[in-house]
Amino acid sequence: MAASSNSSLSGSSVSSDAEEYQPPIWKSYLYQLQQEAPRPKRIICPREVENRPKYYGREFHGIISREQADELLGGAEGAYILRESQRQPGCYTLALRFGNQTLNYRLFYDGKHFVGEKRFESIHDLVTDGLITLYIETKASEYISKMTTNPIYEHIGYATLLREKVSRRLSRSKHESRKTSVTSEEHPAVEKISSLVRRAALTQNDNHCNYEKTHNFKVHTFRGPHWCEYCANFMWGLIAQGVRCSDCGLNVHKQCSKHVPNDCQPDLKRIKKVYCCDLTTLVKAHNTQRPMVVDMCIREIEGRGLKSEGLYRVSGFTEHIEDVKMAFDRDGEKADISAHIYPDINIITGALKLYFRDLPIPVITYDTYAKFIDAAKISNPDERLEAVHEVLMLLPPAHYETLRYLMIHLKKVTMNEKENFMNAENLGIVFGPTLMRPPEESTLATLNDMRYQKLIVQILIENEDVLF
């Protein structure tokens, strides 16, 4: 991204040709301030200091007072030294001149240098970043406080020119590989569209499963100048300038991330595997109602295994189940789980159960776990059923749909009880701990809850036509 004049986004001059795509106009005020920030000036100690920590350089002046440090700095903006505390030997301080005063910071080292949350490879980088932050927050505190009041994120008109083209590509790719690619060999400008544009295009795609999903923001260090895709302002600093969504790639300020809607559209190239991936993230990335593992395994089981004795109770070979897992992680919906490759249906049931166990958030989420357990403890059957239904409504849409589809399938399993010897109670024993886990791992709590876990699944199977 390159800096432009300090102006807000305008969605009025939108062309109909993707070749004429122009990125939003990024606001340059904070970028200019960063360029103006004082540069670090290391004040070197003229003598060799005994017992100098090996991770400090000649900017370390040993045990000196604040007054001595102030005198050494000489009033030069950006000048800095390191000193050992007179009052607390073994504790180190960064003394830094900024705003015509000397600022003192307690300095720490754990393999990297830090005075706050950010960790730096060198003292020079720490001071550089600190001076940038101090300068910008001093000069533009009011501006920063108002950055989120008129975000470009809410004005996505500039992406209109891409919507039709990208939507057609998304729709076409659904039949080819379901990969939501938004690149184009014919129009290289389109290859560089931001996650913000991609979100706008996907929002307009009628085929896209409209499940709400929060962004998975993580602190990120951007190489080179970057601008926030929420407020269009520069992301200042040397490291950890903002956060990036690891699922869709959206880059925003940390403070802006609190205002971004729950509209993450995961990008397939960022989803590294199928197992152990968040359920909602997976279905949105693949543009499906349910995880492909669930659909494919159930289709295979219903096609050739409903009458298999001990279905879901009998375990398949662990090595073969791991093979199926690796096949899904590697090949996605192209994974071959047919009878030709895996003749034992118990391998497929084992792979399905493993998928549910590996979910970072269970199908029956941590947030609803206690409410389901409380519902199971109600003695009156009608009141219990009503309570279960109320809690079901609290599940995230992708979790609800997956659970609904699984219960319809398990109901079919019970309809073949004469051959497979699996009724709703037996399946409850198998799937109770698979579909729901307590938020805090406690062996005692898990043991106490097992009968209620079993009962919940049993109720869901027996009443799937009423509850869903």
Mean predicted confidence (pLDDT) in 416-445: 92
Question: Domain range for residue 245?
Answer: 217-270
The CATH number given to whatever domain includes residue 230 is 3.30.60.20
Please give the full DSSP string across 56-77, using - where no structure is assigned: --TTEEEE--HHHHHHHHTT-T
CA torsion, ordered 347, 349, 351, 354, to nearest 10 deg: -130
Rounded to whole angstroms, the Cα distance separating 420 from 349 reads 13
Whether the pLDDT of residue 205 is over 60: the answer is no
Q: Are residues 387 and 458 in the same domain?
A: yes
Q: Indicate the residue among 146, 163, 178 that finishes a domain.
A: 146
Q: Is 365 helix (H, G, I), strand (E, B) or coil?
A: coil
At position 64, the amino acid (one-letter code) is I
- Cα–Cα dist 103/122, whole Å: 19
Task: Name residues whose C-beta falls within 8 Å of residue 357's C-beta, 6 or more positions apart in sequence.
Answer: 434
- Looking at the fold, whether 294 and 343 belong to one and the same domain comes out as yes
Joined together, the tokens standing for residue 234 give 């520069």
Same domain as 317, residue 266:
no
Position 13 pLDDT exceeds 80? no
Model confidence at 192, in pLDDT bands (50, 70, 90)?
Answer: very low
**Does 245 share its domain with 338?**
no
Same domain, 375 and 456: yes
User: Does one domain contain both 223 and 76?
Assistant: no
pLDDT reading at 320 higher than 70: yes
Q: Which pLDDT does position 177 carry in this prediction?
A: 39
Does 266 lie in the same domain as 346? no
Least confident of 10-19, 77-86, 200-209, 447-456: 10-19
Task: Name, in order, each residue with C-beta under 8 angstroms of 166's C-beta and a sequence gap of 6 or more.
Answer: 182, 198, 201, 202, 205
CATH number (domain holding residue 345): 1.10.555.10
What percentage of the chain exceeds 90 in pLDDT? 69
Is position 121 within any domain?
yes
Per-residue pLDDT, averaged over 336-341, amounts to 96
**Of the given ranges (115-129, 254-268, 355-369), which has the lowest mean pLDDT?**
254-268
Helices H / strands E in the chain, number of each: 19, 9
CA dihedral 68, 69, 74, 76 (to 10 degrees): -170
Structural domains of the chain, count: 3
Taking CA atoms, 227 is separated from 28, 31, 66, 451, in Å, by: 9, 9, 39, 53
Q: What is the pLDDT of residue 155?
A: 56
- Beta strands 60-63 and 92-98 are unpaired
* CA dihedral sign of residues 449, 451, 456, 457: positive
154 band by pLDDT with thresholds 50, 70 and 90: low
Residue 314 pLDDT level (bands cut at 50, 70, 90): very high
Residues 227 and 315 placed together within one structural domain of the fold:
no
Q: Are residues 224 and 264 in the same domain?
A: yes
Q: Which tens digit of pLDDT belongs to each residue from 366-378?
A: 999 999 999 999 9
**Does the pTM exceed 0.75?**
no
- Sign of the CA dihedral with 400 first, then 403, 406, and 411 last: negative
Average pLDDT, the chain: 85
Residue 140: inside a domain, yes or no? yes
- Per the CB < 8 A criterion, the answer to whether 129 and 236 are in contact is no
- Per residue in 91-100, pLDDT (tens digit) is 999 999 999 9
- 83: domain CATH number? 3.30.505.10
Same domain for 324 and 245: no
From first CA to last CA, the distance across the chain in angstroms is 48
Structure tokens, 215: 């962004």
Question: How confident is the model over 68-85, as pLDDT tens digits?
Answer: 999 999 889 999 999 999
In a domain, residue 184? The reply is no
Is 117 a domain residue? Answer: yes
Which of the four pLDDT bands, split at 50, 70 and 90, describes residue 181?
Answer: very low
Task: Tell me: do 53 and 112 sit in the same domain.
Answer: yes
Indicate the residue among 146, 164, 197 that finishes a domain.
146
Say how many C-beta atoms besides its own lie within 10 A of residue 420's C-beta: 21
